[in-house]
Amino acid sequence: MSDFPKILLDNVGVENSHTLQVYRSRGGYKSAEKTLKTMKPEEVVGVVKDSGLRGRGGAGFPTGVKWGFVPQNSGKPVYLLVNADESEPGTFKDRDILDHDPHKMIEGIIIASYAVNCHDAFIYIRGEYGWIVKRVQKAVDEAYEAGLLGKDILGTGFDLEVIVHQGAGAYICGEETGLINSLEGKKGQPRIKPPFPAVVGFLDSPTVVNNVETIASLPWILEHGADAYRGIGTEKSPGTKLFSLSGPVKRPGVYELPLGTPLRELIFGEEYGQGMLPGIELKACIPGGSSVPVLTAEETMAAKLDYESLAEMGTMLGSGGCIVIGDDASMPEVLKVLLQFYHHESCGQCTPCREGTGWLDTILERMLAGKGRPGDLDLIERVCQNMAGLTICVLSDAAVMPTRSFIAKFRDEFAALLPKDEEPEEFVPIARSAEDRS
Amino acid sequence: MAKIIIDGKEWEFEEGMNLFEACTIARGGEKLPHFCYHPGLPVAGVCRMCQVEIEGVPKLQIACNSTVRDGMVVNTRSERVENTVRQILEFHLLNHPVDCPICDQVGECALQDQYMKYGLYETDVDVGDKVMKHKAQAIGEHVMLDAERCVLCSRCVRFTEHITKTNEMGIFNRGNHSEVGVAPGLSLDNDYSMCVVDLCPVGALTSRDFRFRKRVYRLSSVDSVCPGCATGCNMRIEYADGVIYRQKPRTNLAVNEYWMCDQGRLLYKHVGGDDRLEEPFVREDGELSPVGWDHLWSALKARWEGLGESRRLVLVGSPHATLEELYGLKSLLADAAGGRVLGHRLDGTEMDRDDGFLMAADRTPNDQGARRLGYEAFTASELHDAGGEDALLVILDNDLAGLDEAAAEALGSYGAVAYLGWRENATSRVADFVLPGLSYAEKDGVFVNKDGRAQRFFKAVDGPRQAREDWRLIAELGEIFGHTPTWRAHHDLLSELSARLDAFGALAGGIGEEGTLLDGDSAAKEVERG
């Protein structure tokens, strides 16, 4: 699997890869320069549409199509918001780009902004990524000094301001409208849609929100063309994707793979995870960040890492946060960690999510404390049913998907927490006691 | 127009109309289950109760954030919808204390009402300890908050954000620890704070004035109009056993929409106040003494006749009096009995700040009605100049002496002063005859607001036993001056004045629910308002 061009991690591992000097010495900013000097914005949108690049934040929506929703001549400025708020358990792929190759993202921002006619872009970085905020800010400063940002970029007449913003550490601010609210200084809660951000977004203006990885793919695509990008990966999921591998594997980390690569390659491949730690067998794997349905070991070995294959298996590629679970782990305990997370991170607006996440967490906590009741699994299923698809954003669904799949696929482990079907205690009427006394 | 099918029946609505409102019409006025939707506030879409099935859309949709589109097929009563509502309602109750027996909202609680219809009744809810939140917090002068009862619909927050723009309230924390409250260092003390009590669908926000005073299902209610200023906010007076317990805004999109100010809402306290004039009084030996009506009438007649051959009648109306009373005063005591109408108010008095929302600068309810009857403002010196030892001054519900010192002095220039009104004040205290009338809550009447909109209000409770309807007192006065009125009943006054006076011709066909605009100027304003 080494016969593909590295698009995202090509600079990672190079000394001082985060500096402008090193980035430029490796051909950086040439793609942006070429784009700005030789292409029209609509041509850039065309190339990105043709490339089939899909949003790497989790939803996998075609990036070029998303850009196409931005109304031209709305009389309002267009904003580009780069979503660097990755905070889902098991997802830490954007961190490598932000940390080791921030200029790749900045170059992507220039290209994307040019394409959608944006002159003010924001990078919204997860609150916990403190050191990364500093690093990205430094890179942005370097770019300003080199005339790559600000007024009249590279003498092309194109202006672009980039502002780095540190979030306050809320998962929900990674949801694009939650991010917009947060950036506006409001409580980080998703907005009701419609209207959609492409039309009414940041400061009530047309807004594009793109993931870091999506943006970082742009320089390569514009340099090599849509066809070259389509040459990698599968027909419907072209290109490469970052996967953050965690769990009891020998070599956890962030890897770049062409879409369509077998999941077992990521976990067991020599260049990647190198297999399970000694003494631990693969039991399950969450392939796309904690919000997607879990795969059994068998399914894991058969799965391919692209949007369509995983959808066929009833799960999702999501963010590419691949959490490997070994046979030493208890599935109810793993699920408890996830539910605790969603309970904690629910913004609390919509009733089914606000109450449902807490309820699921409470039931599982009770079960793990040895106080399970016979109907608990049915109750969990009923709660899940009423949380799914009924809320403003998908955090509610994100809690439901792992819950349902964990219980469906590892039901025995959950059932073991419930009391055995016992004869109900015999009801002793008071009258009989009175008889006994007489 | 868009053709849409709701629950199997075809309807035509404006394309883009809010689907929640369309469903309400299609369901014969029965609203979809909801907590957060309110027509006067921006859509929040958070309670998730108003789910409907729209053909061709896989997920259920909330009606409040959907719009009517041509060809839409909507189902609001399918099993799927009702089952979902039932389940979402269960979520609402999960951390709710269910303390209905001690909650003031009982009887007008959306949670309770909707549970009657969509309750699960047999529930699996057993979460052990519920999430604890702050209880019984006085968040402002008029409002009490119990955060545990809150369903987090955010209506109160949206009200302070978008309507009063004072932003005192917010939802703090996240998830099931979310809690409504006021921002640190602030209290909910804007002039419209009690509107959040009306907005609150549950017992989280209650009125400090009303709480624990009466179960709401024991209250009767009557439509009224606030007498507090020239806006004429529509309201309901709620009462039981002859006692008023509260006033609440009544929706009138042309006047006050859904709101009213706290000051107006609490005006009912004057109706049962300590300063009520409860009996007729006559000044005898320099002292005002309570007397029977017969005594008052004969004393007044004697006094009138005692003013001599040149005796004159001078009349002062009031911007607080009803249209009917002002008409009666003018037609009977001036036009027929030859009295001189001085005007209806002291120039420049009873004016305050216009708050740009509902509180008008003119703090009287019927200035426009009086002016359209020909009354004008007058000065204290005009009041003085009209006086004389041979003059009887009849004042209708107008505290001239309390409003202006010069006016108080001017009263001394009259041979006798008769005061008709319902509250004791500086003027009633210097009058020679005090004729106790009724408050706005004890009689029917019409006020004309600042936009020239005539609005009716109705009697809620009985007045003090000895008090009389003001129009009857005016009729009795006519008899003393030798003139019998042409009107025999209260409603005769309105029909007579609308038949006889062009300015009130618009009232001939009755007064509509939203009131009736009297003239073209205001009609234009109406169009502007949209």
Q: How does DSSP classify residue A277?
A: P
For residue A299, the enclosing domain spans 240-326
Tens of pLDDT, residue by residue over A104-153, are 999 999 999 999 999 999 999 999 999 999 999 999 999 999 999 999 99
Residues B266, B409, single domain; the answer is no
**Choosing among B43, B46, B173, B179, which should be mutated to test the A contact, i.e. which has the most A CBs within 10 A?**
B46
**Interface of chain A toward chain B, CB-CB under 8 angstroms:** 170, 187, 192, 194, 343-352, 354-359, 362-363, 366, 375, 379, 382, 385-386, 389-392
Centre a 10 Å sphere on the Cβ of residue A49 and count the other Cβ atoms it contains: 17
Q: Three-state SS for B441? A: helix
Q: What backbone torsions phi and psi does residue A394 show, to the nearest 5 degrees?
A: -100, 15
Closest-CA distance, B207 to chain A, in angstroms, reads 25
Q: What is the mean pLDDT of chain A?
A: 94
Tens of pLDDT, residue by residue over A14-33, are 999 999 999 999 999 999 99
Per-residue confidence band for A437, with pLDDT thresholds at 50, 70 and 90: very low
Q: How far apart are CA A208 and CA A201, in angstroms?
A: 8
Residues B265, B314, single domain; the answer is no
CB contact under 8 A, A349 and B87: no
More confident residue, B197 or A420: B197
pLDDT at A426: 56
pLDDT at A3: 81
Residues B437, B313, single domain; the answer is yes
Residues B353, B487, single domain; the answer is yes
Residues A248, A201, single domain; the answer is no
A175 CB-near residues (< 8 Å, 6+ apart): A190, A393, A394, A395
| Any domain includes B526 | no
| Any domain includes B42 | yes
Residues A352, A289, single domain; the answer is no
Residues B309, B441, single domain; the answer is yes
Chain B hits for A400, CB-CB cut-off 8 Å, are none
Residues B329, B477, single domain; the answer is yes
CB contact under 8 A, A351 and B47: yes
Give the number of A-B residue pairs with CB atoms closer than 8 Å. Answer: 95
Of the candidates B49, B59, B176, the beta carbon closest to that of A358 is on B176
Q: Three-state SS for B261? A: coil
Closest-CA distance, A391 to chain B, in angstroms, reads 7
Cis omega (within 30 of 0) for bond into B58 = no
CB contact under 8 A, B174 and A366: no
| Any domain includes A3 | no
Give yes or no for a contact between B453 and B255, defined as CB atoms under 8 angstroms apart: yes
B381 is written with which tokens? 């010196």
Half-sphere exposure of A334 (CA within 13 A, CB side): 27
For the CA atoms of B304, B306, B309, B312, the dihedral, rounded to the nearest 10 degrees, stands at -30
Chain B hits for A379, CB-CB cut-off 8 Å, are 124
CB contact under 8 A, B46 and A375: no
Q: What backbone torsions phi and psi does residue A24 show, to the nearest 5 degrees?
A: -70, -35
Q: CATH number of the domain at B34, please.
A: 3.10.20.740
| Any domain includes A49 | yes
Give yes or no for a contact between A139 and A61, defined as CB atoms under 8 angstroms apart: no
* Residue of chain A whose Cα is closest to the Cα of B86: A386
Residues A169, A283, single domain; the answer is no
Q: How far apart are CA B489 and CA B503, in angstroms?
A: 22
CB contact under 8 A, A187 and B60: no
Chain B hits for A351, CB-CB cut-off 8 Å, are 46-49, 88, 91-92, 151-152
Residues A219, A286, single domain; the answer is no
Per-residue confidence band for A427, with pLDDT thresholds at 50, 70 and 90: low
Chain A hits for B43, CB-CB cut-off 8 Å, are 192
Q: What backbone torsions phi and psi does residue A240 show, to the nearest 5 degrees?
A: -105, 165
Q: CATH number of the domain at B400, please.
A: 3.40.50.740
Residues A269, A367, single domain; the answer is no
Residues B329, B470, single domain; the answer is yes
Q: Three-state SS for A95? A: helix
Give yes or no for a contact between B482 and B337, defined as CB atoms under 8 angstroms apart: yes
Closest-CA distance, B168 to chain A, in angstroms, reads 15
Residues A130, A248, single domain; the answer is no
Residues A216, A264, single domain; the answer is no
ipTM score here? 0.88
CB contact under 8 A, B87 and A385: yes
A70 is written with which tokens? 């931005």
Residues B266, B287, single domain; the answer is no
Rounded to the nearest angstrom, the gap between the alpha carbon of residue B507 and the centroid of all alpha carbons in its chain is 21
Question: By mean pLDDT, which of A182-196, A278-292, A409-423, B431-445 is the weakest?
Answer: A409-423
| Any domain includes A4 | no
pLDDT at B122: 75
Half-sphere exposure of B245 (CA within 13 A, CB side): 18
Q: State which residues of chain B have pLDDT below 70.
A: 126-128, 520-530
CB contact under 8 A, B65 and A192: yes
Q: How many domains does chain B have?
A: 3
A3 CB-near residues (< 8 Å, 6+ apart): none
Residues A117, A86, single domain; the answer is yes
Question: Is the pLDDT confidence value at A402 over 60?
Answer: yes
pLDDT at A73: 87
| Any domain includes A134 | yes
| Any domain includes B463 | yes
Q: How many domains does chain A have?
A: 3
Cα distances (Å, whole numbers) of residue B246 to A239, B220, B443: 68, 11, 17
Q: Dihedral sign, CA of A405, A408, A410, A412?
A: positive
Closest-CA distance, B87 to chain A, in angstroms, reads 6
Continuous segment of H or E residues that includes residue A265: helix A263-268
Q: Dihedral sign, CA of B366, B371, B377, B382?
A: negative
| Any domain includes A293 | yes
Of the candidates A194, A357, A379, the beta carbon closest to that of B175 is on A357
B372 is written with which tokens? 């359209």
Residues A315, A249, single domain; the answer is yes
Q: How does DSSP classify residue B194?
A: T
Closest-CA distance, A421 to chain B, in angstroms, reads 18
Residues A26, A146, single domain; the answer is yes
String of b and e for A150-177 (b: at least 16 CB within 10 Å)?
Answer: eeebeeeebebebebbbbeebbbbbbbb
For residue B11, the enclosing domain spans 2-92
Residues B76, B166, single domain; the answer is no
Q: What is the pTM for the complete model shown?
A: 0.92
For the CA atoms of B36, B40, B44, B45, the dihedral, rounded to the nearest 10 degrees, stands at 60
String of b and e for B9-46 (b: at least 16 CB within 10 Å)?
Answer: eebebeeebbbbbbbbebeeeeebbbbbbbebbebbbb
CB contact under 8 A, A386 and B128: no
Residues B255, B144, single domain; the answer is yes
Centre a 10 Å sphere on the Cβ of residue B240 and count the other Cβ atoms it contains: 17
B407 CB-near residues (< 8 Å, 6+ apart): B346, B380, B383, B400, B401
Q: Three-state SS for B376? A: coil
Residues A111, A244, single domain; the answer is no
Of the candidates A192, A354, A382, the beta carbon closest to that of B178 is on A354
Q: CATH number of the domain at A148, please.
A: 3.40.50.11540
Residues B356, B482, single domain; the answer is yes
Question: Is the pLDDT confidence value at A431 over 50?
Answer: no
Chain A hits for B178, CB-CB cut-off 8 Å, are 348-349, 354
| Any domain includes A166 | yes
| Any domain includes A410 | yes
Closest-CA distance, B498 to chain A, in angstroms, reads 51
Residues B373, B263, single domain; the answer is no
Tens of pLDDT, residue by residue over A361-390, are 999 999 999 999 888 999 999 999 999 999
Last residue in a domain, options B212, B237, B271? B271
Rounded to the nearest angstrom, the gap between the alpha carbon of residue B164 and the centroid of all alpha carbons in its chain is 19
CB contact under 8 A, B87 and A358: no
| Any domain includes B112 | no
Give yes or no for a contact between B140 and B188, defined as CB atoms under 8 angstroms apart: yes
Closest-CA distance, A342 to chain B, in angstroms, reads 9
Residues A274, A353, single domain; the answer is no
pLDDT at A432: 43
